[in-house]
Amino acid sequence: MDYAFDAPPVDRELLDFAVRLAGRAGQMSAQAFFRDDLHSRLKEDGTEVTEVDLAVEELIRNELSRQAPDDGIFGEEGGSISGSSGRRWIIDPINGTTYFTHRVPLFPDLRSGRRAKLTERSSLGGARTLMHNPAGWPEELLCALHRRVLLLPSTGMIVALVTGRADAGIIAGPPMGYEDVAPMPVIVTEAGGRVTDLRGAPVLEGDMSVLVTNGRLHEGFLQLVEGLPHSRDYRALDDGE
C-alpha cells in the first residue's frame, strides 16, 4: 500500500529546528546513561519509564510549543495535544528504555543528513534480516525465518535498512506503541522500501507487528510467515528471582 500524507510541506527551518532539538534531547539522555542513581518504574502497560524519559519529553514538548504552537503533539509519556496546522509531532523520548535502564548502549541516536540507499537484493535466501525483541517471538516464527534468512540482532533497524546495511527487519512479540511505529511509513516509503505488519496490513492499522524491507523482498517474507503466530508472553518465564 502506498501511503498518502495529508500534511503541510516540509519547512526547512522547522526541520533544522527539529534536528537541533533531537541533538539536545540525545545529549540529555546520554549524560543520564552514566548516572548511578537511575531507576525505573513499571507503567500500567507493563513497560518501563524513567525520570529521564519524562524529562526528555518535557524538553521536546516545551520547545515545540514555542516554535510551532499550532502543531499537534503525541507523546509516549504525556499523551496527545490537538493542533490546528495539520502537522503532528510524535515523541518517543528514549526508544529502548529497557536497554537504557540496564546500561546496554542500544537505544538509537540521530543519523543526520545522508541520502537513503536501500539494498537491491531480490532473493530471500540469506537476506540480512534484523530482529527486534526476539525474546517475545514464538518458536514457529523464529524457526521459519532461521531456515531461510540471516537473522541478526537489531538496534536502529530503520536506519540500517535505509542505509543499505540490512535487507529487511522484523518486529514481533508484544505489540509496539504507536509512537514506535508512526515514523516508519514516512521514512521507509520515502527511501523506496515497504512497510506493513506481518499479515500485510498497513502498519498503522495492523496488529503493531512490523515488517520492513527493501520492497523487492516483501511478498516473499509475507508468504514465509503466513499463518504463523507473532508473539509469546516472555514475561511468563520470570520466576521472580
Helix axis angle for 51-67 and 12-33, nearest 10°, is: 160
Which of 1-10, 63-72, 85-94, 103-112 holds the top average pLDDT? 63-72
- Separation of alpha carbons 66 and 36, rounded Å: 33
88-108: per-residue pLDDT in tens? 898 888 776 676 776 665 555
Q: For 125-149, what is the mean pLDDT? A: 94
Asked whether the beta carbons of 217 and 172 are under 8 A apart, the reply is: no
The pLDDT tens digits of the residues spanning 152-177 come to: 988 789 889 988 999 999 999 888 88
Q: What whole-number distance in Å separates Cα of residue 216 and Cα of residue 152?
A: 19
E strand residue ranges, 186-232: 194-196, 210-213
Domain for residue 55, yes or no?
A: yes
> Side by side, which strands form the sheet with 168-171?
150-153, 128-132, 168-171, 210-213, 194-196
Are both 18 and 97 inside the same structural domain? yes
pLDDT value of residue 107? 56
CATH number of domain containing 140: 3.40.190.80
Among the listed residues 95, 93, 98, 105, the one whose alpha carbon sits nearest the alpha carbon of residue 33? 105
- What predicted TM-score, i.e. pTM, was given to this entire model? 0.68
Task: Work out the end-to-end distance of the chain between its first and last CA atoms, rounded to an integer number of angstroms.
Answer: 46
Whether residue 106 lies inside any domain: the answer is no
Residue 97 in any domain: the answer is: yes
Write out pLDDT tens, residues 29-64.
888 887 777 777 888 777 788 888 889 999 999 999
pLDDT band at 1; cut points 50, 70, 90: very low
**Are 156 and 86 in a shared domain?**
no
C-alpha cell at 188: 521507509
Q: Which residues pair with 202 in a beta bridge?
A: 196
Give the domain range for residue 180: 128-234
pLDDT score recorded for residue 6: 54
pLDDT band (50, 70, 90) for residue 2: very low
What's the confidence (pLDDT) of residue 93?
80
Same domain, 68 and 133: no
In 3D, which of 179, 237, 189, 182 has the Cα closest to residue 212?
189
Structural domains of the chain, count: 2
112: in domain: no
Task: Please list, residue by residue across 41-51, b when 16 or more beta carbons sit within 10 angstroms of its beta carbon and e when fewer do.
Answer: eeeeeeebbbe
Does some domain include residue 25? yes
Q: Which three cell numbers stand for residue 183?
A: 515514523
Residue 197 · residue 206 · CB < 8 Å: yes
- Same domain? For 143 and 65 the reply is no
